[in-house]
């Protein structure tokens, strides 16, 4: 009997080897699954509860699990009365909650060797906790407490002021952060112009009530997604139903972002001038946004190998003809739920700033005029696909991808679908996108010694 079974397995192996196109994550074609057997391939399960909460999970049988609560509570949802509340909220993630004190949370997470972090962007606030599979119950309890049962005790909140100052000092140390925050401030009239950091005039003035109110208005079930890696979907669903259904309703709807286009110049002593020139692009999820992403790769976005002369980056090759001093240039692309920014970011010596910016913009105009070959497009698509797929290789990247999709669309598109969409971008789409940039109203932000840096109406 054993011999016969062994022979049949042998045939399956040969069968599988013959099918070179067979994916390792899909079951073999023609194989009948018995009804009671568990799926032995991994896929992302997404459930939408009646309250609007989306639950997504992937059981990847890894020894470490990662759970994330994604909330549509980024800095764009701050109002004029509570500017800077998301910065405090980010720092307040480890404060006392109704079910656990600050000490208990810190000690409990450390005791199981886990990690608790909160990341906030302009759109979302993401609470992530990761630990070994067996300890997931403990840290899940803390995660639920932190997202739903915060107390924001006034004295603890006021103790966060030195940390806010420290955050701001470290952010100011990086010119890139300063320029990008200034860029958003100049580009939009509301919502997306709010900085990720607390403004100076609000550093001591964000109170516990502001935090409570912001949470009341924005941490509602319809705006949250509970995502897990390495956890059973049924378990996660139960947790979501039991604990995260606390606030129903859509909460306060954020205002639609209004693009205005402006300029901010941060004069300084630094000999390196950082400058960003952008124009409005498309909202995330649309095909135009995908075209802009491919355009970003066509123009050149970051080094792909550790050392080299960036031969694949059109921007760098173009700017290298304009100046011999050290510089760096990259295409900048940011997409938000209802708007986006696309442009170029340059770092140059103070005396060559004008030439560098002009050369970079000339390259974009060349693309708009149809100067992209099919080979360039293929190369750009391959780079984009590579970047996307490699981001899914880490558990953090995968969780983020699952979470943002669950939050914005309520479903998860597999990597194959995304690859297909990228493949559908054509040369005309690229040219149109570049043309949108060239003709659109520009926003500019610069920092450093701005003696030779042009104004936005001069470029």
Partner 1 sequence: MMSLAARSGAFSPYMQASAFAVAGPLKALVPGVVLKGEKILLDPKKQFLCRESLNGQSPKTGPAVSVSINGCAGVRLAHTDVRIPDFSDYRREDVLNPDKSSHESGESRRSFSYLVTGASVVVGVYAAKTVVSQFVSSMSASADVLALSKIEIKLGDIPEGKNMTFKWRGKPLFVRHRTEKEISTEAAVNIAELRDPQHDKDRVLNPSWVIVLGVCTHLGCVPIANAGDYGGYYCPCHGSHYDASGRIRKGPAPLNLEVPFYEFPDDDTVVVG
Among positions 304-343, residues that touch partner 1 (CB under 8 A) are 307, 310, 326-336, 340-341
Report the alpha-carbon distance of residue 300 to residue 314 in Å, rounded: 6
Beta carbon of residue 200, minimum distance to partner 1 (angstroms, whole number): 14
Min CB(426)–partner 1 separation in Å: 18
Residue 72 or 237 having the CB closest to partner 1: 72
What's the burial of 63, exposed, middle or buried (CB within 10 Å: 0-12/13-18/19+)? exposed
**Of 246, 252, 358, 392, the one binding partner 1 by CB under 8 A:** 392
Nearer to partner 1, 239 or 331 (CB): 331
13 binds partner 1 (CB under 8 A): no
Smallest gap from residue 121 Cβ to partner 1 (A): 4
Residue with tokens 């100011």: 172
Token match 């100076």: residue? Answer: 200
| DSSP line for 180-215 | HHHHHHHHBSSGGGS-SS--GGGTTT--HHHHHHHH
The full DSSP string for 145-175 is HHHH-B---HHHHHTTHHHHHHHHHHHHH-H
The one among 238, 391, 414, 424 contacting partner 1 by CB under 8 A: 391
CB 92: neighbour CB atoms within 10 A? 25
Contact (Cβ atoms closer than 8 angstroms) between residue 251 and residue 224:
no
Q: Does 290 participate in binding partner 1 (rule CB under 8 A)?
A: yes
Angle between helices 287-299 and 415-423 (to 10 degrees): 70
Query: Rule CB under 8 A: is residue 293 a binding residue for partner 1?
Result: yes
Kind and range of the H or E element at 292? helix 287-299
- Write out the binding residues for partner 1, residues 222-261 only, by CB under 8 A: none
Instruction: State the nearest-atom distance from the C-beta of 251 to partner 1, in Å.
Output: 18
Cβ atoms of residues 300 and 372 within 8 Å: no
For partner 1, how many residues bind (rule: CB under 8 A)?
Answer: 76
DSSP category for residue 304: S
Binding flags for partner 1, 259-278, as an x/- string (CB under 8 A) = -------------x------
217 in contact with partner 1 (CB under 8 A): no
Which residue, 329 or 368, has its beta carbon nearer to partner 1?
329
Name the one range near partner 1 by CB under 8 A: 29-37, 120-128, 259-267, 425-433. 120-128
Residues 62-91 that bind partner 1 (CB under 8 A): 74, 90-91
Where in 122-161 is the site for partner 1 (CB under 8 A)? 122-124, 126
Tell me which residue of 416, 300, 423 sits closest to 367, measured CA to CA.
300
Task: Find where tokens 């399956």 sit.
Answer: 12
Site string for partner 1, 351-390 (x = CB under 8 A): ---------------------------------x--xxxx
């Amino acid at each position: 009997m054993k011999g016969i079974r062994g022979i049949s397995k042998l045939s399956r192996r040969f069968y599988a080897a013959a099918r070179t196109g067979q994916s390792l994550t899909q079951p073999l074609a023609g194989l009948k699954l018995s009804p009671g057997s568990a799926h032995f391939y991994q896929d992302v399960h997404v459930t939408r509860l009646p309250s609007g909460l989306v639950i997504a999970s992937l059981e990847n049988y890894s020894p470490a699990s990662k759970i994330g609560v994604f909330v549509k509570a980024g800095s764009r949802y701050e109002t004029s009365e509570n500017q800077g509340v998301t910065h405090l909220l980010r720092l307040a993630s480890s404060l006392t909650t109704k079910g656990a004190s600050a000490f208990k949370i810190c000690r409990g997470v450390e005791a199981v060797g886990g990690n608790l972090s909160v990341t906030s962007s302009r759109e979302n606030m993401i609470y992530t906790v990761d630990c070994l599979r067996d300890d997931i119950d403990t840290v899940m309890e803390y995660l639920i407490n932190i997202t739903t049962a915060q107390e924001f005790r006034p004295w603890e909140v006021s103790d966060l002021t030195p940390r806010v100052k420290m955050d701001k000092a470290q952010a100011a140390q990086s010119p890139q952060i300063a320029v990008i925050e200034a860029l958003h401030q100049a580009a939009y009239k509301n919502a997306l112009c709010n900085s990720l950091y607390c403004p100076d005039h609000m550093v001591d003035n964000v109170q516990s009530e502001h935090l409570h109110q912001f949470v009341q208005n924005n941490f509602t079930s319809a705006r949250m997604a509970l995502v897990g890696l390495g956890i059973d979907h049924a378990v996660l669903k139960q947790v979501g139903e039991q604990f995260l259904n606390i606030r129903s309703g859509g909460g306060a709807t954020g205002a639609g972002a209004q693009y205005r286009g402006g300029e901010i110049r941060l004069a300084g002593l630094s000999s390196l001038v950082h400058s960003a020139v952008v124009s409005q692009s498309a909202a995330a999820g649309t095909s135009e946004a995908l075209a802009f992403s491919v355009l970003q790769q066509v123009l050149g976005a970051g080094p792909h190998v550790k050392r080299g002369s960036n031969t694949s980056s059109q921007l760098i090759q173009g700017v290298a003809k304009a100046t011999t001093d050290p510089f760096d240039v990259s295409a900048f692309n940011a997409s938000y739920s209802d708007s986006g920014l696309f442009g170029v970011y340059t770092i140059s010596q103070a005396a060559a700033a004008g030439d560098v910016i002009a050369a970079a913009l000339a390259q974009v105009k060349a693309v708009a005029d149809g100067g992209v070959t099919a080979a360039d497009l293929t190369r750009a698509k391959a780079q984009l696909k590579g970047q996307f797929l490699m981001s899914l290789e880490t558990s953090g990247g995968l969780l983020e991808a699952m979470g943002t999709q669950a939050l914005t669309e309520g479903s998860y598109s597999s990597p194959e679908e995304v690859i297909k969409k990228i493949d559908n971008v054509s040369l005309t789409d690229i040219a149109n996108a570049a043309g949108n940039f060239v003709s659109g109203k520009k926003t500019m932000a610069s920092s450093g010694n701005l003696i030779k840096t042009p104004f936005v109406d001069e470029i």
